[in-house]
Structure 1
Amino acid sequence: MKNISIISLLLIFCAASVGAAPKSSSRVGGGVRYHTAQDTVVAAPFDNDVSYGLLYEYHEGETFWQLGVNYATSMGSNDVDSVITPEVNLVFADKLWRGGVGVLSSYIKDEVGSDWTDLYYQLILGLEIPVGKMSLEVLAYYVFDDFNSIKEFNFNEIEVGAWLMYAF
């Protein structure tokens, strides 16, 4: 029993002494995103729904491209059966902080049929907590349909997401 305690302490010490992962050229991960009801966006059918997603990041210095897809099913109070939302984001990183802009379009399937929405956009702001080659990202998203509608900013429309990423 004493050996297990010593080994446990040694493992904790080793894990604590490992610094953040070196700059990697790529990362992959998965996560969850909470979508709020959108008054300013006609294209997105979300109304306090959750989606699950996959991300790939290609890093070049402090700037990186993020390619992702989110999937939501059994949409709350509307007739939507499922939504698949691919996205492309350009993100700028400064130590723990992240900020960027992205372009999205949703493939919506409902009782009548299915179709793609028009393009819409998102602003991204958040932080990353690195642990070795893994990291946890907690991000806030503000979704809007065109850049003129940013002046109609509403704090109630901010969405949140959490991603577990692996660097390679």
Structure 2
Amino acid sequence: MIIHAIVIETLGLHWLLHNTSMTLSIVLLILNIYSIVFFLGDIQALRLTPLRVDDDHLYISFGLGKRMEIPFRDIAEIVEDAHILEQKIPNTTIEFIARDFETVHPDLLLTLKSPIEATLFMGIKKKYNQVAIRVDDPHAFKKIVKERLEKAQRDELI
């Protein structure tokens, strides 16, 4: 829907501004074409870049806008309580949740031992204390994360 709106806006503004200011019309046309390419790239990155679990790290990305690498040794706890998950998410929590028209809550909340840096839109880096995640198969994901977390805790003890 956003892409269709941008295309229609591009055509309308280009036609309207073409009579008034040719250079402004062309500059806005180029910017709008760039925004369409960006949205298409973001959608493809969201679709084709799944959440990845390594032996020691959890790699999460959300399109071109957010990405984070979480070592399992830095995870303090996994929150699965529905009452906590349905509350408002604080500013110290990064969300990896695909939203649509309905209200969506995370499947689990990873509380970190210390703040971990995430890369946001345009390379901006910010540290977060918690990570809210929503996945397609929450039971399988929780099982994998718990196994890797237990393995990381065993490795720390050794």
Q: Return the TM-score normalized by structure 2.
A: 0.27
Q: Return the TM-score normalized by structure 1.
A: 0.26
Greater helix content: 2
> Over alpha carbons, which structure has the higher Rg?
2
